[in-house]
Amino acid sequence: MGTGRSLLVVLVAGGILAGCGAELSEQELREQANQACREYAERVADFETPESPGDLGSALDEAEPAIDDLRSDLDDLRPPAELEERYGKVVQGVENAGDRLGQLREAAEGEDTERLSELVGEAAEAQRGADEAARELGLEECT
Indicate the pTM of the whole model: 0.81
Averages of pLDDT over each 10 residues, the chain, 143 residues:
44 42 92 97 90 85 94 97 96 93 91 92 90 97 94
CA–CA separation, 38 vs 137, rounded Å? 16
Quote the pLDDT of residue 90: 96
In a domain? residue 59: yes
Range of the domain at 69: 24-142
- Is residue 14 assigned to a domain? no
Residue 21 pLDDT: 63
Is 39 buried (19+), middle (13-18) or exposed (0-12) by CB count in 10 A?
A: middle
Residue 9 lies in a domain: no
Report if residue 123 sits inside a domain: yes
d(Cα 141, Cα 38) in Å, to the nearest integer?
Answer: 6
pLDDT of residue 48: 86
| Structural domains in the chain (count) | 1
Please check whether residue 16 lies inside any domain of the structure: no
